[in-house]
Amino acid sequence: MTHGRRLRLNAFLKPPGEFLAAWRHPGAVPDAGVNIRHLIELARTAERACFDALFFADLVGVPFADQEVLRRVSVVNDSFEPTTLLAALATATSRIGLIATASTTYNEPYHLARTFASLDHLSRGRAGWNLVTSLNDAEARNFGLPEHVGHAERYRRAAEFHQVVTGLWDSFDDDAFRRDQASGIYFDDDRVHRLDHRGRYFSVTGPLNIPRPPQGHPVVVQAGSSEAGKSLAAAAADVVFTHHPDGAAARAFYAEIKARAAAAGRNPEHVLVLPALSTIVGRTLAEAEDKAERLYALLDPRVALADLAYWLGGVDLSTHPLDGPLPQLPVSNQSRSAQRLIVERARARNLTIRELARGLARDERTIVGTPETVADHIQEWFETQAADGFNVIFPYLPETLDDFADLVIPQLRRRGLFRASYEGRTLRENLGLPRPASRYARDRRGA
């Protein structure tokens, strides 16, 4: 094990659960996505377990066009906007990090710089931004565009967007605000900086109208694994969320991200790679399998098929026989890495469309097993440099979070792998990430 390397765990909360039929589970809170009392309970459970952070995904539209599908799913229709939600959760928690997804394709950088700076102040240094480029045409149509912006274009815009946001966060030096009632001087004018950014996509004068965030820069997460996604991660991300079918693929990705970060002049230890891990845990294997079977039986086949078509890039599968193989597909303009994962799985196992749709519910990321099996997996991936930790996905809530907290976390602690209390106050401190200096600090030292 590398000296000082610690296991990181992020709780990917998608109430009532990642599984599309989770809201039908007998233990579910059916309105979980908009039930603040329930969301606070989930956040507190994750904080008691000492997860590094909570994370909420987001879309700026409703992806399924077919009403027969749409009316059977909860998450895409029925959840809070994540930064608003995290502002509320910031007041109900004290140590856990708070990561929200926000799109660089359908926002302006000034807005997001301000939102995440506010969240960082509200939470006293616990904010994180999952920087995404958005996924689908339904989102584009809410922003005056007939279809989603092209993949390469989205990532070019994202890179410039990130530069503008981090530049705006540095608008005021950390010690700029004197608020001196006696002299009448509110801030030192040599401690404020105008960005004056003029680029291909953005023209932003600045400064930002809020003090520098407690973390300097809120933690930046990146979750695309295409070529362009990896370049952006190496240049800009503190944390990378990713998906891999097996340990070998995860190790290759891990090594690549660390090498790319080093090539970009960064310390590779400061870019944390967190693959997805979804678990259904029982005290025995039979109990876990029983829980899984009961859950999977709740999924309507129409929803399963629509979900498969969506993750393949929004393709139409209806003209292809369900008991035949996947057709040749155009390259996805949504998530290239998601499409590749599914196509590779279909090929490797010779799966029909029907089998594949069913299998999405129970793919390689979901471990159905005992706390020991889950801890073994975590330990192996962590110790063989496949992961710095995991983005833990909960198929249905609250039970799979409770099980992880009550059964898996104690296993990890017994093995000396995971903390029993938070080391720091801010998300950066808990993740072992340094607080970035302001881009203007060097100028001042030189002056």
Q: Which stretch binds ligand FMN (CB under 6 A): 164-172, 185-193, 217-225, 427-435?
A: 217-225
Q: How far is residue 48's CA from residue 270's CA, in Å, rounded to a whole number?
A: 25
CB-nearer residue toward ligand FMN: 301 or 330: 330
**CA count, 13 A, side-chain hemisphere, 292:** 21
Q: Which stretch binds ligand FMN (CB under 6 A): 52-60, 191-199, 318-326, 342-350?
A: 52-60
101 binds ligand FMN (CB under 6 A): yes
242 binds ligand FMN (CB under 6 A): yes
Q: How far is the CB of 242 from ligand FMN (least distance, A)?
A: 6
Give the dihedral of Cα atoms 347, 352, 358, 362; nearest 10 deg. -20
Q: How many residues bind ligand FMN (CB under 6 A)?
A: 23
For residue 78, give Cα distances in angstroms to 31, 35, 103, 255, 296: 8, 10, 19, 38, 21
CB-nearer residue toward ligand FMN: 171 or 242: 242
CB-nearer residue toward ligand FMN: 129 or 241: 241
Q: What is the largest CA-CA distance in the chain?
A: 79
Cβ pair 275, 378 in contact under 8 A: no
The DSSP call for residue 239 is E
377 binds ligand FMN (CB under 6 A): no
Work out the angle at residue 353's Cα, subtended by the Cα atoms of residues 351 and 358, and round it to the nearest 5 degrees: 85
Q: How far is residue 193's CA from residue 173's CA, in Å, rounded to a whole number?
A: 8
233 binds ligand FMN (CB under 6 A): no
Q: How far is residue 371's CA from residue 410's CA, in Å, rounded to a whole number?
A: 9
> Of 211, 242, 249, 203, whose CA–CA distance to 225 is shortest?
242
Q: Which stretch binds ligand FMN (CB under 6 A): 174-182, 210-218, 226-234, 341-349?
A: 226-234
Cβ pair 52, 9 in contact under 8 A: yes
74 binds ligand FMN (CB under 6 A): no
Q: How far is the CB of 80 from ligand FMN (least distance, A)?
A: 13
My answer on whether omega of the bond before 26 falls inside 30° of 0, hence cis, is: no
Coil/strand/helix, residue 83: helix
Which of 109, 125, 216, 229 is the binder for ligand FMN (CB under 6 A)?
A: 229
Q: How far is residue 242's CA from residue 389's CA, in Å, rounded to a whole number?
A: 11
Q: How far is the CB of 58 from ligand FMN (least distance, A)?
A: 5
Q: How far is the CB of 149 from ligand FMN (least distance, A)?
A: 11
Q: How far is residue 411's CA from residue 424's CA, in Å, rounded to a whole number?
A: 23
Which of 243, 291, 419, 428 is the binder for ligand FMN (CB under 6 A)?
A: 243
> Of 62, 104, 60, whose CA–CA distance to 82 is shortest?
60
Q: Where are the beta strands (DSSP E) in 105-163?
A: 127-132
Instruction: Kindly write out the interface string for residues 266-285 of this chain, putting x where it contacts ligand FMN by CB under 6 A and - elsewhere.
Output: ----------x---------
Q: Which stretch binds ligand FMN (CB under 6 A): 57-65, 375-383, 425-433, 434-442?
A: 57-65
241 binds ligand FMN (CB under 6 A): yes
58 binds ligand FMN (CB under 6 A): yes
The DSSP call for residue 217 is S
Residues contacting residue 267 through CB under 8 Å, at least 6 positions apart: 261
Q: How far is residue 381's CA from residue 111's CA, in Å, rounded to a whole number?
A: 38
Q: Which stretch binds ligand FMN (CB under 6 A): 53-61, 120-128, 162-170, 408-416?
A: 53-61
Q: Which stretch binds ligand FMN (CB under 6 A): 160-168, 249-257, 333-341, 362-370?
A: 333-341
Site for ligand FMN in 109-168 (CB under 6 A): 132-135
CB-nearer residue toward ligand FMN: 123 or 225: 225
SS3 content of the chain, % helix, strand, coil (to 5): 40, 15, 45
Q: How far is the CB of 1 from ligand FMN (least distance, A)?
A: 25
Q: How far is the CB of 53 from ligand FMN (least distance, A)?
A: 13
Cβ pair 393, 242 in contact under 8 A: no
Q: How far is the CB of 226 from ligand FMN (least distance, A)?
A: 3
Which of 223, 374, 387, 405 is the binder for ligand FMN (CB under 6 A)?
A: 223
CB-nearer residue toward ligand FMN: 110 or 241: 241
Which of 336, 377, 419, 428 is the binder for ligand FMN (CB under 6 A)?
A: 336
Q: How far is the CB of 11 from ligand FMN (least distance, A)?
A: 12
Beta strand pairing call for 197-198 and 203-204: antiparallel
Which of 7, 57, 357, 407 is the binder for ligand FMN (CB under 6 A)?
A: 57
Binding site for ligand FMN (CB under 6 A): 57-59, 101, 132-135, 223-226, 228-229, 241-243, 276, 335-338, 391
